[in-house]
A and B are shown apart, each in its own frame.
Chain A
């Protein structure tokens, strides 16, 4: 299949909802990156769920917790749902109960969230000890930010406050739920994208590194 914009082979397939109707987009890697679509995390599953539910005339509910994420490569051609980090197929996780890497948690977040809720008395977020290192904003996630030279207090660096992330994520999820309930699909898609960006920033590879030390968790000794 050719890219909608240029003549290259389309490798990124996206489903957009305009005016309540689904429309497909097929782009090559380069054009997708230009339009900000080239996201290693499937954006479409939730929307596909919605479309399927609309098609089936069902009430709108968030994606089913244990269901395999539907295909993102265009309608009717299901792709294997697998972790973009380590290639673990979701089916393998369902069979063995073991994840392959930190990215699995982001890739399968929708399925894992409700699973954990059930297994841990409805808890939705981690509380307790946190690593003392956190990710400096904009830094290369693969490298460590150097400690302050000579032990002098370091100048303030752009850092991500873990509490802020938790707060922001909870906010976004709440808004997403109400958007879905109100059938505001375009808004839901935007919120979904924001959640993904937030997740990528802080969760994707589990990189928690850098200058500022996280505040001690109040409960942890």
Chain B
């Protein structure tokens, strides 16, 4: 356990704001996320950097991000040196979708200690973790910035429900602040206020607060380590809960349709993860030669509403024509969750998915929030933080079953 945890015990127990079930179409759309990939000009990208260069980037970014430019009334930025954090502390941040698995894992470098030049090491080997960090706004956790992941900066805004436009407003503003423009946009103001505001309207930023200079090319756009991200460096994704389409056997249609539209459909924990709990992420692939607004419009006003409609139709079909099957699935899941003495994370997610469907179809009188937050709270690191002890797999399964029974009022 961290001596001073980044995320407080109360926040862990509460779950996460992006699972709050607020925002548009939240019966189907769990959350909306936008991330920007940015690199600093004149410095090698992280994978090609020496330890010293990485440490310099961390220091530079931390100083600027923590200078207050990203703070707002009731919200402040906090910083964590991920390389100095315990594995459990890192897993917790991954589960809360504040950083990637890769960022949590990092690379460990082995240093021979006490070796005379060219000689054999005399002392024990020492390992160090690559310098990397994370800045998060508290208490809402809606804005987070990974430093030294694949790119120097990975900026993310994560909101509940279908809220890509709002997420774009927030991340566009944060991106400008990272660049150190100094003239902060007033919330709810004009979209392009930053560029249109006359210089006299905003005091100049103090010298130490000049901001970070991005690597950018007029031809290629924001320069990223992986050329698939070059251009806008943007990925917009929406997490969907699609149990109805699985029950009606139409989920493959959605998978094929998104593939045809050059969108990626991934599981709960991103690339390569399974769609346990009927949770899927739809996101754009690449953003070169296509402006952000166009990507946003396609996903938010064309693709997602269509999938939402399909899912609602599927739920209605199940309720009206195959009610017995629907009820059977929902109540079996509820029976399992209310009675099991040991649960794997997969069992918990699959069961919670069916119970959530039952709640939204009016079959189960449990507040939807209780179930949605359990999606997160039943994850291994959350479970251990909630109970305040490190546990092996067997104990976690028992603790998971206890927590689910308690929250579902069994």
Contacts from A to B (Cβ < 8 Å): 85-86, 88, 97-102, 105-106, 109, 112, 115-116, 119-133, 141-142, 144, 147-154, 162, 165-166, 169, 199, 202-203, 205-209, 213-217, 219-221
Contacts and interface: CB of A to CB of B under 8 A. Distances in A.
B225 A99 contact: yes
Contact of A221 (B196, B210, B234, B293): B293
B287 interface: yes
B45 A150 contact: no
Contacts of B293: 128, 219-221
Interface residues of B, number: 62
Contacts of B176: 132
B199 A148 contact: yes
A88 B231 CA distance: 21
Given A142-B42, A153-B198, 4 more contacts: A97-B228, A101-B48, A119-B288, A128-B292
A147 B205 contact: yes
Contacts, number: 191
Contact of A133 (B150, B165, B196, B213): B213
A194 B150 CA distance: 33
A92 to B, nearest CB: 10
Contacts of B214: 131, 206, 208
A162 B42 contact: no
B199 A131 contact: no
21 contacts: A85-B44, A97-B228, A101-B48, A101-B215, A102-B39, A116-B220, A116-B227, A126-B289, A127-B290, A128-B232, A128-B287, A128-B293, A131-B179, A147-B205, A148-B199, A149-B204, A151-B202, A219-B291, A219-B292, A221-B165, A221-B292
Contacts of A129: 172, 175, 232, 291-292
Interface stretch (B75-83, B187-195, B236-244, B320-328): B187-195
B47, B210, B230, B288, most chain A CB atoms within 10 A: B288
A215 B195 contact: yes
Contacts of A150: 204
The 9 closest A-B pairs by CB, nearest first: A123-B289, A126-B221, A206-B215, A219-B291, A100-B48, A128-B291, A102-B215, A216-B195, A120-B288
Majority SS of interface residues in chain B? loop
A153 B289 contact: no
Contact of B291 (A127, A166, A205, A208): A127
Given A206-B214, A208-B216, A126 B199 contact: no
A205 B226 contact: no
Given A105-B220, A209-B41, A126 B231 contact: yes
Contacts of B228: 97, 119
Contact of A206 (B191, B196, B217, B225): B217
B253 interface: no
A125 B181 contact: no
A128 B218 contact: no
Contacts of A99: 45, 223-227
Contacts of B216: 130-131, 206, 208
Interface in B135-188: 150, 165, 168-169, 172, 175-176, 179, 181-182
Contacts of B204: 147-151
A189 to B, nearest CB: 21
Interface in B380-398: none
Given A133-B213, A208-B213, A209-B213, A126 B220 contact: yes
Among A85, A142, A154, A206, residue most surrounded by chain B Cβ atoms (within 10 Å): A206
B149 to A, nearest CB: 12
A136 B294 CA distance: 30
Contacts of A215: 195
Interface in B271-300: 286-294
B195 A213 contact: yes
